[in-house]
Structure 1
Amino acid sequence: MDNLDYGIIDLLRQNARAGYGDIGASVGLSASAVKRRVDRLIADGVIKGFTVQVDPAVDGLGTEAYVELFCRGTVSPQELQRILSTVPEVVDAGTVTGSADAIVHMRSRDIPSLEEALERVRNAPNVDHTRSAIVLSKLISRQPA
């Protein structure tokens, strides 16, 4: 990967539908050279795919919460993944340092459905309790650079 590849990736992050000619004009390459580089980045697994990001509120998932998950005893990351993967409202989760065992990002259509999803998480074996924070306003939302 060189600076041209990084430039192409940055432009695709901003607009995955950008034309090769437009990208080329920005990075100083021809459209065909950009296409060859994009094809190589895909083949090498650097670019994993192209996607559409839809406003979660439009999808009916306007309620958002971050949940700290506390377990009884020692629970493996694989077990936490198994538990959380059964709850469709979980959109992201990771093990963390500190007193919580994991942080879980959840989205639901409303507070009652969020509460139901939280109950499914709380009722899982090895889960002791949760601590939730409901998002009131989104301040920054961007994809990793």
Structure 2
Amino acid sequence: MTLDDVDRQIIQVLSQDGRASYGSIGAKVNLSAPAVKRRVDRLRERGVITGFTVRVDPAARGWTTEAYVELFCNRRTSGDEILRRTERYPEVVAAFTVTGDADALLHVFASDMRHFERVLSEISAEPFVARTRSVLVLSPLLRRDYLGM
């Protein structure tokens, strides 16, 4: 689907505030509220906008330690198995199969180093994991919640 500049502006406004009214979006993109609604409905129907959600700061839960964990798996471990095993850990907020030496990459939050160490130890003990390599985040420099349109 080809997006025009107005569609991109609407997506940007919704990315910053998913609860913005059609009227307030229209004021920013120079359209009426009904016109904005029609465009949002069309973007949803075509799968460009896949949903609306709430973003919660992990620190609000007390999770101030952030890390990325590379998983090196035993032979013949599928992405489905990695997903099934890692989704049980609430500290794992994202999991990806990746290229390179590792088989998967986990994005992990924990309350402190002791908590992170416990979670890492539990993940490392999963039967499909041969070894792990971790990188702790010192300071997040940039986070984007939407693709620049």
- Aligned position for 2:86: 84
After TM superposition, give the deviation of residue 13 of structure 1 in Å. Answer: 0.7
- Opposite residue 64 of structure 1, the aligned amino acid is E
Of the three residues 129, 132, 135, the one matched with 2:131 is: 129
Q: Percent identity?
A: 52
Gaps spanning 5+ residues in structure 1: where?
A: none
TM-score (normalizing by structure 1): 0.89
Q: Per-residue CA shift, 1:4-59, capped at 9, x if unaligned?
A: 32221121112223222221122221112112222333344432322221221112
Q: CA RMSD in A?
A: 1.7
Q: For residue 69 of structure 2, what is the amino acid of its counterpart?
A: V
1:74 positional shift: 2.6
CA distance in 2, matches of 1:137, 1:55: 15
| Aligned amino acid, residue 89 of structure 2 | V
C-alpha distance in structure 1 between counterparts of 2:54 and 2:105, whole Å? 25
Range with bigger deviation, 99-108 or 34-43? 34-43
* Pair 1:113 & 2:119 matched: no
Alignment of 1:40 onto 2:22:
no
Q: Counterpart of 1:144 in structure 2: which amino acid?
A: Y
> Any conservation in 1 of the 2:74–2:130 contact (CA below 8 Å)?
yes
Letter in 2 for 1:58: A
Q: C-alpha offsets along residues 62-88 of structure 1, whole Å, 9 cap, x if unaligned?
A: 111101111122311111111211222
Number of residue equivalences: 145
Distance 1:68 1:79 in 2: 16
Gaps of 5+ in 2: none
The residue number in structure 2 matching 1:50 is 52
Specify the SS of the correspondent of 2:27.
helix
